[in-house]
Structure 1
């Protein structure tokens, strides 16, 4: 059986990225390596992890496309579910996120907002889909 265990975001500064997610969403850090090149958050069933771009480069010798707030986001997003979309979006903004789309109700009733984190990754903040 295969289980989805974690998503790893390649970031410039692991400690800074983890601090953003703690402040923006209230997640708690699970750990950061002594070298500060890898860390994880307690986020529920699936873990969000962070690896420094330097560590990622050792695993991917042919390189990778780096996320940046200056460029368009990748065609992927992290999705966080909450009943308090507007409040969480505002808290993320206070923590340094850029709001891409303010909370908006979709035709099927779900409320959805989009932000970009401090490394430029796209995050959806939404109510549960029914």
Structure 2
């Protein structure tokens, strides 16, 4: 059996990423390494984690493409579900997120909006489906 355990974002500064996600979205820190190269947040069964770009380069001999606000977002997103999309968007933007798409109601009744975090990763903020 296999279990989805982590989504790990390669970030410029692990401590700043943790600070952003805890203050913008109210998530709690689970663990941060003594050298600030790796951290996890309490997000339920699957962890949201961060690794420094330096450690990422050490782990991947061929390197990787870093996420940057100046570039278009990758074709992947984090999804946070809430009953108050506008409130979460306002909090995130006040902590440094960049609004990409304002809240819109989808034909199936879900409200969806998009921001980018301080490292440029795309985040969907939405109400529950159905």
The answer to whether the superposition gives a TM-score over 0.5 is: yes
* Alignment match, 2:99: 99
Is the partner of 2:10 in helix, strand or coil? strand
Relative to the length of structure 1, the TM-score reads 0.98
Note the residue ranges of structure 1 that are not aligned, 5 or more in a row: none
Relative to the length of structure 2, the TM-score reads 0.98
Distance 2:74 2:113 in 1: 17
Following TM superposition, the consecutive aligned residue runs of length 4 or more in structure 1 with deviations greater than 6 angstroms are none
Note the residue ranges of structure 2 that are not aligned, 5 or more in a row: none
Matched, 1:40 2:31: no
What is the number of residues matched between the two proteins?
Answer: 130
Distance 1:121 1:38 in 2: 17
Is the partner of 1:114 in helix, strand or coil? strand
Describe the superposition over 1:80-121 as per-residue Cα deviations: whole angstroms up to 9, x where unpaired. Answer: 001011100100000100000111101110000000000000
- What does 1:9-88 correspond to in 2, within 5 Å? 9-88=9-88
CA RMSD, aligned part only?
Answer: 0.6
